[in-house]
Chain A
Amino acid sequence: MAAGELEGGKTLSGLLNALAQDTFHGYPGITEELLRSQLYPEVAPEEFRPFLAKMRGILKSIASADMDFNQLEAFLTAQTKKQGGITSDQAAVISKFWKSHKTKIRESLMNQSRWNSGLRGLSWRVDGKSQSRHSAQIHTPVAIIELELGKYGQESEFLCLEFDEVKVNQILKTLSEVEESISTLISQPN
């Protein structure tokens, strides 16, 4: 029985989910044989392979172009008309999948393309210091901030910083400049 005929929407949905985990979210261990035996056990491996490649290719094209719903419909319609393309039932399943998983996939693509560390977390507390390590001043409040940073696929690194009130306000001023810059960028027409 051909993979395309064996369709239950749920099975293809499951396949797309697994493909997304493997291709975008970096989930390990998702092999072709695992997918075939779990989802399409009655399909021969030689038949399953091109079917899987086709679905993966379609998903990658949609994600790469960050298709909106109009583009998606046009693209999937074209796929149904192709020789060796997809059925309209399959197109419907793919469309539904993209609509519900688009944001998460996009976020993974963004994370994958960031080669610097990303900000994973920020924690802080304020201490009222009675004695300062760095000067003779007493009763100097100090903010202790811990940044959790990490590169894609790597363990977090923690950076602990100490700020006095003056420093905090300096940073705040800098951050307001960042905000202004962002607002200017966003308000500009693309």
Chain B
Amino acid sequence: METTSEPPLDAKSDVTNQLVDFQWKLGMAVSSDTCRSLKYPYVAVMLKVADHSGQVKTKCFEMTIPQFQPQLLATSSLLSASNFYRQFKEIAAVIETV
């Protein structure tokens, strides 16, 4: 997945939302009907977002630890690294200079 800051973002969504709230939890998937030995930690995020009219929606999603920050787990494969945390750090660094 691209992590560069240079290419212009061509947003696929028509509406830009404001973030109202960011909640998170760290979960551990232990077992399931298809896999008795899952054993993976994940970050669950609940976002509250408001559109231009002020209407608030809730969006939930999950990330694996490598998606959040690959360096935290020795066994991470870089193939699925969105690197959520690092990208926010980059955004902060860039926005400071604008």
Contacts and interface: CB of A to CB of B under 8 A. Distances in A.
Interface of A: 63-66, 103, 107, 109-110, 112-114, 116-128, 133-134, 141-149, 158-163, 165, 167-169, 171-172, 174-175, 178-179, 181-183, 185-186
Given A103-B77, A118-B63, A168-B88, A125 B5 contact: yes
Contact of A158 (B12, B24, B36, B89): B12
In the complex, the 6 A-B pairs of residues with the closest C-beta atoms, listed nearest first: A141-B98, A160-B13, A125-B9, A66-B37, A158-B13, A117-B61
B21 to A, nearest CB: 10
A122 to B, nearest CB: 5
Interface string B42-74: 111001010010000001111111011100110
Contact of A162 (B17, B47, B67, B69): B17
A166 to B, nearest CB: 10
A159 B95 contact: no
Given A66-B39, A178-B68, A107 B80 contact: yes
Given A117-B61, A165-B95, A175 B88 contact: yes
Nearest to A166: B95
Contact of B13 (A103, A121, A159, A186): A159
A158 to B, nearest CB: 4
Interface residues of B, number: 59
Contact of B17 (A110, A160, A175): A160
A171 B92 CA distance: 10
B59 to A, nearest CB: 6
Given A144-B16, A163-B19, A109 B95 contact: no
A168 B91 contact: yes
16 contacts: A63-B35, A64-B36, A116-B61, A125-B8, A144-B9, A144-B16, A147-B61, A160-B15, A161-B18, A174-B24, A175-B88, A179-B72, A185-B28, A185-B41, A186-B72, A186-B73
B87 to A, nearest CB: 6
B32 A161 contact: no
A113 B49 contact: no
B92 A119 contact: no
Given A124-B9, A125-B8, A162-B18, A179 B24 contact: no
Given A116-B60, A159-B59, A163-B19, A143 B95 contact: yes
Contacts of A141: 95, 98
B44 to A, nearest CB: 7
